[in-house]
């Protein structure tokens, strides 16, 4: 008994908080990592990206997590240099409810048109030309979007801002926006529930959620002009061809690659370059390295897209810069 | 005089026999209850104060405009709370219109009319309704209630009452009306339970007197019971209203979450509590977070204001019925 409590007290606790989207893979990593290094335990609170950014700025946690890169404004509030460490990526898929469940294709124009409220009927000429085989009636399109602030919406609006100048000026990119049209559902389950229950509805959910709930989702035309199915491979392909600046605050929507799915985004861990507690900092660095290498292998089993080799190398280099 | 003298003699002889009774217990109890009661007041003030401090930037930036404008744009950082205030008041009003008659009638049935073997099961059932977690109710709302409303009652209302602006426009499913109905379901147990307790506390003498005057069962219930318990029933409604204003999760799931002010109840709406639940976790900029804090402050203020108005109404009703009784 005595020995047990001694090891328990010797165990180091590393605290983190933030994004909900990567929570399943992070908990898996923390579980697995406990076997690699039993002397350290992780405590992660998935309170949302906003909370994650706030807490790492206030230094109440050892690392933060966010589904969107931090703004310049927020970064300037940090007491030290904050690093963005990308971990895994995911995608938003277009899901819909039409009788007969036709397989549909969309391009930038039609998605923007629908979500701006300009394409109102399913038999709009633009949709008909993209989907010559599908039977589309003059049913009204009911747009369903996320009502809660989320990384999913960030990716979605980031994509729309890139491909539609009108969206960029009228609406913009954020975790929640002033939607021009549609009804709001809370969470992936809220959006998918409302799409499933409303004939003629269209909405967006995370790929993971769509896969696990066997929902129909559309192919989307990418920047290179090919129609791509959202899969873990096409997300990693997007990561490989996305322009990634040195500070890793990148957006990977509408990536250039031929096989890249256009509506996807990464998620980040936020850590200070100069760690306050040397012992903790050392353990955190070890974990980050493990996550960027071994950990990546576990991503696919949980339907997350791993980082491509090229990005992994750059991430490892960045982790080496952390001082403890 | 003689009487008081004899009493004081008896008292003093009693005092001689036992130690003087200590007043300490009474005092301690008084202080304790006073402390508890003031703790509630202090808590309310502190919450208000915190919300005020937390939203000071937004209050300074938007001023009174926050309450009168309708744009809620986190990207452009323009925030106006009017559609949320409107949605909160309208959805609560719908809820009360549905739940109050239902709740009070159920309570009256349970206390006045129901055979004994029906009472207990029905009471347990109603109390179980209160125990359903709101997220479950919300999911049920999305998957069962909203599709049913969309297919049957809504088209009916539109067909026959479409001339009223409230029932016009396309029917999508999630809407202000659905939000009000889900709140009604959630406040029904509290209105029913409290009303039942109040009706039960009406002395039987009241009923007997009414019957003795030749009243029918309905007349006795109406005059001797419901009218007698009016004040208490009003209290039950206010309790329900308080809950209705703050209901969050289930409402968020069926109301459609679109900040707009439109006459049609078939259009999606938004409430103060819902926008807080939706956007608080991912709000990253200061002014955005402050605007959400101010939403909290507005909800706090609305709740207090509505309660005060209700109290005022109650007092008016009480005095008018008193004058009528005198006449």
Q: Is the pLDDT of residue B326 over 60?
A: no
Q: Is the dihedral of CA B162, B164, B170, B171 positive or negative?
A: negative
Cα separation, B151 vs A305, in Å, equals 41
User: Mean per-residue pLDDT for B102-125?
Assistant: 93
User: Beta partners for B213?
Assistant: none
pLDDT digits (tens, 9 = 90+) for A182-236: 999 998 888 998 998 899 999 999 999 998 888 899 999 999 999 999 999 999 9
Comparing CB atoms, the residue among B73, B270, B278 nearest residue A148 is B278
pLDDT of residue A8: 47
Interface check for A82 against chain B (CB to CB < 8 A): the answer is: no
SS3 A84: strand
Which is it for strands A201-206 and A82-96: parallel, antiparallel or unpaired? antiparallel
Which is it for strands A12-18 and A63-66: parallel, antiparallel or unpaired? parallel
Interface check for A180 against chain B (CB to CB < 8 A): the answer is: no
Determine the angle formed by the axes of helices B82-108 and B230-246, rounding to 10 degrees: 140
Cα separation, B67 vs B54, in Å, equals 17
pLDDT of residue B8: 52
Cα separation, A220 vs A305, in Å, equals 18
Comparing CB atoms, the residue among B142, B252, B280 nearest residue A197 is B142
The alpha helices in A18-171, defined as continuous H runs, are 23-36, 49-57, 72-75, 108-115, 125-130, 151-163, 165-170
User: Mean per-residue pLDDT for A68-92?
Assistant: 93
Cα separation, B309 vs B93, in Å, equals 14
Interface check for A189 against chain B (CB to CB < 8 A): the answer is: yes
pLDDT digits (tens, 9 = 90+) for B2-45: 444 444 555 555 555 666 677 888 999 999 999 999 999 999 99
Cα separation, B291 vs B283, in Å, equals 10
Q: Average pLDDT, whole number, for chain B?
A: 89
pLDDT of residue B18: 64
Interface check for A140 against chain B (CB to CB < 8 A): the answer is: yes
A15 CB neighbour count, 10 Å cutoff: 15
pLDDT of residue A236: 93
CB pairs under 8 A between A and B: 109
Of A296, A320, A315, A316, nearest to A306 by C-alpha is A296
Phi-psi region for residue A160, left (φ > 0), alpha (ψ -120 to 50) or beta?
alpha
CA distance B67 to chain A (A): 18
Q: DSSP label at A8?
A: H
Cα separation, A114 vs A163, in Å, equals 13
**Which run of H or of E encompasses A267?**
strand A264-272
Q: Which residues contact A274 (CB under 8 A, 6 or more apart)?
A: A80, A81, A323
A46 CB neighbour count, 10 Å cutoff: 20
Cα separation, A189 vs A205, in Å, equals 9
CA distance A172 to chain B (A): 6
Q: How confident is the model at residue A3 (pLDDT cuts 50, 70, 90)?
A: very low
User: Mean per-residue pLDDT for B286-311?
Assistant: 92
Cα separation, B103 vs B184, in Å, equals 10
SS3 A64: strand
pLDDT of residue B52: 95
pLDDT of residue A16: 96
Cα separation, B256 vs B169, in Å, equals 15
The answer to whether A209 and A195 are in contact (CB under 8 A) is: no
How far CA B45 is from CA of B38, B50, B139, B293, B305, in Å, comes to 10, 9, 35, 16, 15
User: Mean per-residue pLDDT for B104-116?
Assistant: 93
Q: Is the pLDDT of residue A243 over 60?
A: yes
Q: Is the pTM of this model over 0.90?
A: no
**Which run of H or of E encompasses A311?**
helix A309-320
Q: Which of A65, A151, A172, A197 to mutate to test the interface with B (most CBs of B within 10 A)?
A: A197
Largest CA distance in chain A: 75
The answer to whether A94 and A220 are in contact (CB under 8 A) is: yes
Q: Do B278 and A184 lie within an 8 Å CB cutoff? A: yes
pLDDT digits (tens, 9 = 90+) for A34-49: 999 999 999 999 888 8
Q: Is the pLDDT of residue A144 over 70?
A: yes
User: Mean per-residue pLDDT for B204-223?
Assistant: 91
Q: DSSP label at A17?
A: E
Q: Which residues contact B186 (CB under 8 A, 6 or more apart)?
A: B95, B134, B137, B243, B244, B247, B250
Cα separation, A41 vs A44, in Å, equals 10
Cα separation, A276 vs B232, in Å, equals 60
Q: Which of B282, B289, B292 to mutate to test the interface with A (most CBs of A within 10 A)?
A: B282
pLDDT digits (tens, 9 = 90+) for B216-231: 999 999 989 998 898 8
User: Mean per-residue pLDDT for B99-118?
Assistant: 94
pLDDT of residue B62: 95
Interface check for A142 against chain B (CB to CB < 8 A): the answer is: yes
Q: Is the pLDDT of residue A7 over 50?
A: no
Percent of the residues in chain A that have a pLDDT greater than 90, as a whole number: 81
Tokens of A216: 């129909």
User: Mean per-residue pLDDT for A73-99?
Assistant: 94
pLDDT digits (tens, 9 = 90+) for B297-307: 999 999 999 88
Burial A21-39 (b: 16+ CB within 10 A, else e): bbeebbebbbeebeeeeee
pLDDT digits (tens, 9 = 90+) for A12-67: 999 999 998 899 999 999 999 999 999 999 999 988 888 899 999 999 999 999 99
User: Mean per-residue pLDDT for A288-295?
Assistant: 95
The answer to whether A64 and A44 are in contact (CB under 8 A) is: no
Q: How confident is the model at residue A5 (pLDDT cuts 50, 70, 90)?
A: very low
Query: Residues of A with CB below 8 A from B146's CB?
Result: 197
Q: How confident is the model at residue B285 (pLDDT cuts 50, 70, 90)?
A: confident
Q: How far is CA B37 from the centre of its chain?
A: 21
Interface check for A109 against chain B (CB to CB < 8 A): the answer is: no
Of A269, A256, A276, A274, nearest to A322 by C-alpha is A274
- The CA-CA-CA angle for residues B110, B112, B113, to 5°, reads 75
pLDDT of residue B16: 55
The answer to whether A239 and A252 are in contact (CB under 8 A) is: yes
Lowest mean pLDDT among B49-63, B78-92, B272-286: B272-286
């Amino acid at each position: 008994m005595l020995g047990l409590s001694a090891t328990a007290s010797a165990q180091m606790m590393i605290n983190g908080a933030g994004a909900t989207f990567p929570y399943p893979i992070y908990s898996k990593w923390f579980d697995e990592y406990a076997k690699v290094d039993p002397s350290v335990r992780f405590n992660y609170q998935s309170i949302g990206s906003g909370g994650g950014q706030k807490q790492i700025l206030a230094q109440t946690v050892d690392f933060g997590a966010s589904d969107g890169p931090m703004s310049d404004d927020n970064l300037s509030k940090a007491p030290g240099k904050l690093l963005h460490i990308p971990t895994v990526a995911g995608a938003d898929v277009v899901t819909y409810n039409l009788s007969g469940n036709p397989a549909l294709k969309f391009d930038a124009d039609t998605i923007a048109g629908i979500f701006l409220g300009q394409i109102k009927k399913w038999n709009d000429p633009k949709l008909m030309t993209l989907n010559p085989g599908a039977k589309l009636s003059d049913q009204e399109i009911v747009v369903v979007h996320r009502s809660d602030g989320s990384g999913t919406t960030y990716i979605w609006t980031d994509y729309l801002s890139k491909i539609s100048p009108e969206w960029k000026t009228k609406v913009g990119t954020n975790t929640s926006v002033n939607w021009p049209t549609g009804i709001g559902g809370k969470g992936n389950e809220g959006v998918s529930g409302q799409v499933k229950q409303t004939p003629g509805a269209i909405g967006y959910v995370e790929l993971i959620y769509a896969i696990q709930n066997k929902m129909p989702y559309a192919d989307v035309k990418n920047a290179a002009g090919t129609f791509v199915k959202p899969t873990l491979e096409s997300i990693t392909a997007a990561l490989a061809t996305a322009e990634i600046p040195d500070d890793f605050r990148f957006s990977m929507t509408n990536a250039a690659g031929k096989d890249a799915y256009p509506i996807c985004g990464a998620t980040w861990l936020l850590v200070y370059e100069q760690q306050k507690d040397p012992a903790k900092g050392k353990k955190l660095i070890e974990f980050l390295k493990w996550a960027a290498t071994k950990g990546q292998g576990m991503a696919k089993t949980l339907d997350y897209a791993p980082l491509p080799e090229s990005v992994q190398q750059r991430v490892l280099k960045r982790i080496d810069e952390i001082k403890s | 005089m003689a009487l008081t003298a004899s009493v004081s003699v008896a008292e003093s002889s009693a005092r001689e026999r036992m130690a003087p009774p200590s007043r300490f217990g009474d005092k301690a109890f008084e202080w304790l209850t006073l402390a508890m009661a003031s703790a509630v007041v202090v808590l309310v003030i502190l919450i208000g104060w915190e919300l005020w401090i937390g939203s000071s930037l937004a209050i300074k930036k938007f001023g009174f405009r926050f309450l009168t404008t309708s744009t809620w744009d986190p990207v452009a950082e323009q925030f106006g709370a009017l559609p949320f205030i409107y949605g909160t008041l309208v959805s609560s009003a719908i809820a009360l219109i549905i739940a109050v008659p239902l709740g009070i009638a159920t309570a009256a049935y349970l206390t006045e009319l129901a055979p004994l073997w029906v009472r207990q099961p029905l009471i347990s059932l109603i109390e179980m309704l209160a125990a359903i977690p709101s997220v479950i109710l919300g999911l049920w709302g999305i998957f069962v209630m909203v599709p049913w409303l969309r297919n049957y009652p809504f088209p009916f209302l539109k067909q026959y009452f479409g001339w009223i602006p409230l029932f016009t426009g396309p029917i999508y499913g999630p809407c202000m009306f659905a939000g009000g109905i889900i709140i009604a379901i959630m406040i029904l147990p509290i209105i029913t339970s409290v009303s039942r307790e109040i009706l039960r506390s009406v002395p039987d003498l009241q009923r007997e007197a009414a019957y003795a005057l030749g009243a029918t069962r309905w007349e006795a219930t109406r005059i001797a019971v419901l009218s007698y318990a009016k004040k208490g029933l009003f209290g039950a409604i206010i309790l329900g209203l308080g809950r209705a204003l703050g209901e969050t999760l289930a409402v968020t799931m069926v109301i459609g979450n679109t900040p707009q002010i439109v006459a049609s109840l078939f259009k999606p709406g938004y409430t103060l509590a819902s926008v807080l639940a939706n956007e608080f976790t991912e709000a990253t900029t200061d002014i955005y977070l402050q605007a959400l804090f101010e939403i909290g402050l507005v909800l706090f203020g609305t709740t207090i204001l509505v309660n005060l108005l209700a109290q005022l109404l109650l007092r008016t009703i009480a005095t008018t019925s008193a004058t009528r009784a005198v006449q």
